[in-house]
A and B are shown apart, each in its own frame.
Chain A
Amino acid sequence: MSQQKRNDSDRVVLKVDNLRIHYATPQGNVIAVSDISFNLYEGETLGLVGESGCGKSTTAYGILQLVQPPGYIVHGSIEVDGTEVLNLGEEELRKFRWTGLSLIPQGAMNSLNPTMRVKDQIIDVIEAHEGKKRDKEAMRERIFELFQNVGLPNRIYNMYPHELSGGMKQRVCIAMGVALHPTVVIADEATSALDVVVQRIVAQTLIKVKDEIGVSLIVIGHDMGLLAQIVDRIAVMYAGKMVEIAPVENVYANPLHPYTQLLIDSIPSIKERKPLKITEGITHDPRNPPSGCIFRLRCPFAWDHCAEVEPPPINVEEKHVVACHLFDEQFEERRAHAYATTANP
């Protein structure tokens, strides 16, 4: 991974603007994703993190137009390379998936069809978009090339999924995800069911393929350690809101939002023993979020203002946005004070 280049492109390939997704329940709508906006740049790997139920997977499924009822998109805009995804019809959308946007799903190892050979599943994806191919030999070459991309041996071509190990199945899914060279690939917890050695291999595969094929990648996960290894920027979500987006180095060295600090603090380390930092999960009723800042009920720095005004996204530096009043210039003194009183400024 040392050869991994820093991503400097300014070309936006995915632009999510003011996206809001609700789940309808009898007691009211659960606000799963609340007016979030972010950009994904060309060739970039963006990590999307947050605790269970924060809306990270829903965001991904929203981008892919795969939100299932009772979930629905309330409003927003999702542009992939200038194409507004929300305006696409059923058939256009079908074509757009795999070619414009593709997904490596959560628990991908169980998403392969157990009754089809690996080759047939990949051919299926390709032919569904490019039509029936006569040249079987060319197709085989193409699949072998994909196998090479993801580090799979050619001998699995004729195998069934149950004959493969978990890590190999995961890589078959990656191969399918990139088979049609989509613009954006979303990997939803693609490595969380694997043990560390295999996880490392799969994560490396993901990054290698991304660089070779030239796609942009969104990696959803909650393992902050893994994300530190593979992403360029991290977007932190809390209860449906995006609270901070920052280059990965900033997030780990200098987390700004109090929630990001909490996340970084709770990463278990194998370098030093630290006192355990005990927290509870999301505390409010998602149907009835608190006024003002979404995090104020758990925030150690919250004051009256946080209950009254929702913090706007504040650009602290290039590609680094944080939604917290402490970074509003008029509250600079309070910030200095707040951070002086914590162990982890």
Chain B
Amino acid sequence: MPTPLLQIRDATKVYYSGGFLGDKKSVVALDNFNMTIDEKPATITTIAGESGSGKTTLANLVLGFIKLTSGKIIFDGEDITDMTDEQLKAYRRNVQAVFQDPFGVYNPFYRIDHVFELVNRHFSLSDNQSEYRDMVEAGLNVVGLYGEDVLRKYPHQLSGGQRQRIMMARAYMIKPRLIVADEPVSMVDASLRASILDAMLRLRDEHNISFLYITHDLSTAYQIGDQIYMLYQGTTAERGTAIDVIDAPQHPYVQLLIDSVPVPDPTDKWDVDISLPSEEEMRTAAAQGCRYYPRCPHRMDKCLDAQPPLFKMEKAKHEAACYLYEENEIAPIEPPMLVNQPFHEAAVAAVSHRKRDRAIAAGLIVIAFIAGALLALTREPETIVETVVEEVVVTATAIPPTEPPTATPPPTATPESQEIVPAFVVEPEGASDKGSITWGEDTVGEIENADERHSYTLLGFEGATVEIKLITGGRGLSGTGFFAPLMTVFDPAGDIVFAFDRARRSNRGELTFPADGAYQIVIGADDRGRGVEVYTVTIEGDMPEPTPMPALPPPAFAVEPEGAVDKGAIVLGEDGVNEIENADERHSYSLEGVAGRAVDVKLITGGRGLSGTGFFAPLMTVYDPNGEIVFYFDRARRSNSGSFTFATSGAYQVVIGADDRGRGVEVYTITFSDA
């Protein structure tokens, strides 16, 4: 018999509170709990119960966040209670977690990419950047997402369902054998839950990852669960396959619970009103008897004597802890199976092995980087700039101005010292939460959002010198083909007073403000301003009558028409690679001399992506001169690459970001001549 994946034996967890002078209160969160999860096939084991039933305690125990009071948790034959840090790290490679709140687990300042970067670094998952990216992409694809749709977004730009699937993808990247999912769908709309549940099923079926699925939502357990454990006050009231238990519950508590799940059918309404006994009664639940006694409609004197063991029901593996079934056989508790060979030794070794390899690789990467840099210098940039700027820290240091500000009356709120300057808040409503710049007492201002143009009216800054530091997160710069992230500061006249550019090769600099007025900061965009949104900024603080906001200087770039053509040029050129960057557009091309030519098509959706459209795969359709569809990506394809051959020459239309009925499409016509 193979070693089970996870065995929990007589697990008891007691929380103590108070007790400074002997008045110790204790709460038994988990009481002699037993569970086994087999290694193969992978299963979804549901732990269900009301709040306070011990579900989350169990999850935290399995994750090693808290220690058992007594009992054993055995993973792959190895007791997890006394692990060293190194062993724990190896254990975490095998057991990953997905939590309830898809809003709280992300750092709002970082792009989604950062999540993967961290896990990659922590577990040394990949040897190089391209391996890492393939890994991330594979993980995202498993949960029905695409890297180009989500990686460069901020958490707030994604739906709860997408965020939760990214957590699944993150866990998957580590290739664990067990994922503990604590209420992963409870904070997500019902209509979006299916995508998360689907991701769980795929991980189970295609990648052999088991789940400990903690929930109070029985309907989702019924839809995807294999085994189910119904907990009541830290004990198993009933267990079996999810279908057996929910279709025919045996324990009185489970019967009530399932009867209370609202039926989505107005013709099948609850027919009895239920009530709970008073708090006192609940608390006086027999110390050694059945925990459900105070609420049970079938209670018997016997129930007060001892806690009922699990009795076998008709169906295999279906068991209920209730004396109503005491004539049945008592379900045996299998003895735990331990193996001597620690499961994690190999994993620990693998980690350190990788680390050594990486050290060797690092030297090679430096050489490759320099070579690549030289190459990049000699080449024309052909695509949109993809800097990975994650945050910019603008540090206003205590450098005093060369002369006191005179251009405007000194603001009353501005102290004499230049150290404390008025607090500027990126406060046009919606922008505040992402791009708040507080140039205040702490003298540190931060702008987190790349791809945005921020404008600040700066008063009392004339002559002030600030230090600027650009911090890039995520992938770093080596992969982008740029030496330095780009950032440009325009003064009120629209002139560039400061820039990080390709040549600078640094992320630090100093800027002295030549005058007061409206400054614009463009981050994460190239000097033609591609991919930039414009914000205006109001000033907060006890400022004197602020000077009226001067009109923004014209952007130092022209993108025509409305930012479209510049990005959307298709060059069916010598190298045979064609790029169309703009989604949501219909492009029309007159192609001469293309008959019989085969092309590879790859759809990269960039920033906004299509993930929000409700389509699984990005959609793209190519119409031939007769209006017939000759190529398309559809929902079923779940891929973003393919190829086709031009049958004739003529005017082809390419529709991106829309389905074959052209929904959501703005039509542009682009004149094009083949090279």
Most central of A1, A196, A279, A296 by chain B CB within 10 Å: A196
Contact residues of A between 277 and 306, Cβ < 8 Å to B? 277-281, 283, 290, 296-298, 302-303
What CA separation (Å) do A14 and B144 show in the bound complex? 44
Is A196 a contact of B257 with CB atoms below 8 Å? yes
What CA separation (Å) do A309 and B41 show in the bound complex? 53
- Identify 6 new A-B residue pairs, CB closer than 8 A, beyond the known A26-B431, A51-B189, A280-B612: A24-B429, A26-B535, A51-B192, A153-B278, A204-B274, A268-B219
Among the listed B223, B270, B663, which residue makes an inter-chain contact with A269, where contact means beta carbons less than 8 Å apart?
Answer: B223
Is A297 a contact of B663 with CB atoms below 8 Å? yes
Contact residues of A between 111 and 128, Cβ < 8 Å to B? none
What CA separation (Å) do A203 and B429 show in the bound complex? 37
What CA separation (Å) do A51 and B193 show in the bound complex? 11
Among the listed B189, B260, B266, B611, which residue makes an inter-chain contact with A196, where contact means beta carbons less than 8 Å apart?
Answer: B260
Is B195 a contact of A225 with CB atoms below 8 Å? no
- Main SS class of interface, A: loop
B276 in contact (CB, < 8 A): yes
Among the listed B190, B267, B276, B663, which residue makes an inter-chain contact with A267, where contact means beta carbons less than 8 Å apart?
Answer: B190
Q: Tell me the smallest distance from the CB of A292 to a CB of chain B, in Å.
A: 11
Residues of B within 8 A of A2 (CB): 269, 271
Contact residues of B between 504 and 542, Cβ < 8 Å to A? 533, 535-536
What CA separation (Å) do A259 and B264 show in the bound complex? 17
A25 in contact (CB, < 8 A): yes
Is B262 a contact of A197 with CB atoms below 8 Å? no
Is B265 a contact of A228 with CB atoms below 8 Å? yes
Q: A228-B264, A279-B191 are in contact. Are A70 and B218 (CB under 8 A)?
A: no
Contact sample, A vs B, 25 pairs, CB 8 Å cutoff: A1-B273, A26-B431, A27-B430, A52-B160, A165-B279, A197-B274, A201-B276, A203-B262, A204-B274, A223-B262, A225-B262, A225-B263, A228-B269, A229-B269, A251-B266, A269-B219, A269-B223, A276-B197, A276-B201, A278-B198, A280-B613, A281-B191, A298-B613, A302-B661, A307-B663
Cβ proximity bits B192-211 to A, threshold 8 Å, 1 near / 0 not = 11110110010000000000
A67 in contact (CB, < 8 A): no
Is A222 a contact of B257 with CB atoms below 8 Å? no
Q: A201-B276, A268-B217 are in contact. Are A283 and B270 (CB under 8 A)?
A: no
Is B263 a contact of A228 with CB atoms below 8 Å? yes
B50 in contact (CB, < 8 A): yes
B51 in contact (CB, < 8 A): yes
Among the listed A200, A249, A281, which residue makes an inter-chain contact with B161, where contact means beta carbons less than 8 Å apart?
Answer: A281
Residues of B within 8 A of A51 (CB): 189, 191-192
Is B219 a contact of A281 with CB atoms below 8 Å? no
Q: Which residue of A lies closest to B664 (CB)?
A: A297
Cβ proximity bits B210-247 to A, threshold 8 Å, 1 near / 0 not = 00000011111011100000000000000000010010
Q: Which residue of B lies closest to A3 (CB)?
A: B273
A36 in contact (CB, < 8 A): no
Among the listed A153, A223, A252, A268, which residue makes an inter-chain contact with B223, where contact means beta carbons less than 8 Å apart?
Answer: A268
Is B274 a contact of A280 with CB atoms below 8 Å? no
B330 in contact (CB, < 8 A): no
What CA separation (Å) do A123 and B299 show in the bound complex? 40
Among the listed B216, B243, B264, B275, which residue makes an inter-chain contact with A273, where contact means beta carbons less than 8 Å apart?
Answer: B243
B668 in contact (CB, < 8 A): no
Q: Tell me the smallest distance from the CB of B519 to a CB of chain A, in Å.
A: 17
Among the listed B222, B267, B431, B614, which residue makes an inter-chain contact with A268, where contact means beta carbons less than 8 Å apart?
Answer: B222
Q: Tell me the smallest distance from the CB of B333 to a CB of chain A, in Å.
A: 28
Residues of A within 8 A of B428 (CB): 25-26
Q: Which residue of A lies closest to B432 (CB)?
A: A26
Residues of A within 8 A of B132 (CB): none
Number of interface residues of B (CB under 8 A): 63
Residues of A within 8 A of B256 (CB): 197
Q: A196-B218, A274-B223 are in contact. Are A266 and B193 (CB under 8 A)?
A: yes
What CA separation (Å) do A203 and B266 show in the bound complex? 14
What CA separation (Å) do A27 and B534 show in the bound complex? 9
Q: Tell me the smallest distance from the CB of A254 to a CB of chain B, in Å.
A: 12
A19 in contact (CB, < 8 A): no
Is B266 a contact of A228 with CB atoms below 8 Å? yes
Residues of B within 8 A of A165 (CB): 279
Q: A223-B262, A228-B264, A269-B264 are in contact. Are A279 and B663 (CB under 8 A)?
A: no
Residues of B within 8 A of A307 (CB): 663
Is A225 a contact of B261 with CB atoms below 8 Å? yes
B623 in contact (CB, < 8 A): no
Cβ proximity bits A1-20 to B, threshold 8 Å, 1 near / 0 not = 11010000000000000000
Among the listed B159, B271, B663, which residue makes an inter-chain contact with A281, where contact means beta carbons less than 8 Å apart?
Answer: B159
Is A268 a contact of B271 with CB atoms below 8 Å? no
Q: Tell me the smallest distance from the CB of B5 to a CB of chain A, in Å.
A: 24
Cβ proximity bits A180-199 to B, threshold 8 Å, 1 near / 0 not = 00000000000000011111
Give the interface size class of chain A. Answer: 35 or more
Q: A70-B429, A197-B274, A224-B264 are in contact. Are A276 and B51 (CB under 8 A)?
A: no
What CA separation (Å) do A247 and B282 show in the bound complex? 40
Contact residues of B between 627 and 675, Cβ < 8 Å to A? 661, 663-664
Is B192 a contact of A196 with CB atoms below 8 Å? no
B616 in contact (CB, < 8 A): yes
Contact residues of A between 137 and 184, Cβ < 8 Å to B? 151, 153, 165-167
Is A249 a contact of B266 with CB atoms below 8 Å? yes
B499 in contact (CB, < 8 A): no
What CA separation (Å) do A25 and B533 show in the bound complex? 14
Is B193 a contact of A268 with CB atoms below 8 Å? yes
Is A268 a contact of B190 with CB atoms below 8 Å? yes
A270 in contact (CB, < 8 A): yes
Among the listed B50, B144, B536, B664, which residue makes an inter-chain contact with A26, where contact means beta carbons less than 8 Å apart?
Answer: B536
Is B192 a contact of A279 with CB atoms below 8 Å? yes
Q: Which residue of B lies closest to A276 (CB)?
A: B194
Residues of A within 8 A of B201 (CB): 276
Closest A-B pairs by Cβ, 7 of them: A26-B428, A268-B219, A225-B262, A25-B430, A276-B194, A225-B264, A195-B50
Q: Tell me the smallest distance from the CB of B232 to a CB of chain A, in Å.
A: 11
Is A280 a contact of B614 with CB atoms below 8 Å? yes
What CA separation (Å) do A283 and B279 show in the bound complex? 46
Is A280 a contact of B611 with CB atoms below 8 Å? yes
Is B270 a contact of A195 with CB atoms below 8 Å? no
Q: Tell me the smallest distance from the CB of A58 to a CB of chain B, in Å.
A: 15
Q: Tell me the smallest distance from the CB of A147 to a CB of chain B, in Å.
A: 13
Most central of A27, A151, A270, A302 by chain B CB within 10 Å: A270
A86 in contact (CB, < 8 A): no
What CA separation (Å) do A25 and B611 show in the bound complex? 24
Among the listed A199, A270, A298, which residue makes an inter-chain contact with B218, where contact means beta carbons less than 8 Å apart?
Answer: A270
Residues of A within 8 A of B138 (CB): none
Q: A151-B275, A224-B264, A229-B263 are in contact. Are A266 and B222 (CB under 8 A)?
A: no
Is A283 a contact of B430 with CB atoms below 8 Å? no
Q: A197-B274, A303-B661 are in contact. Are A280 and B279 (CB under 8 A)?
A: no
Residues of A within 8 A of B430 (CB): 25-27
Among the listed A252, A278, A302, which residue makes an inter-chain contact with B616, where contact means beta carbons less than 8 Å apart?
Answer: A278
Contact residues of A between 244 and 260, Cβ < 8 Å to B? 248-249, 251-253
Residues of A within 8 A of B191 (CB): 51, 262-263, 266, 279, 281
Q: Tell me the smallest distance from the CB of B120 to a CB of chain A, in Å.
A: 27
Q: A223-B262, A281-B159 are in contact. Are A276 and B223 (CB under 8 A)?
A: yes
Most central of A223, A248, A269 by chain B CB within 10 Å: A269
Residues of A within 8 A of B217 (CB): 268
Contact residues of A between 26 and 59, Cβ < 8 Å to B? 26-27, 51-52
B572 in contact (CB, < 8 A): no
Is A266 a contact of B257 with CB atoms below 8 Å? no
Is B612 a contact of A197 with CB atoms below 8 Å? no
Residues of B within 8 A of A199 (CB): 260, 262
Q: Which residue of A lies closest to B271 (CB)?
A: A2
B14 in contact (CB, < 8 A): no
Q: Tell me the smallest distance from the CB of B645 to a CB of chain A, in Å.
A: 31
What CA separation (Å) do A27 and B535 show in the bound complex? 8
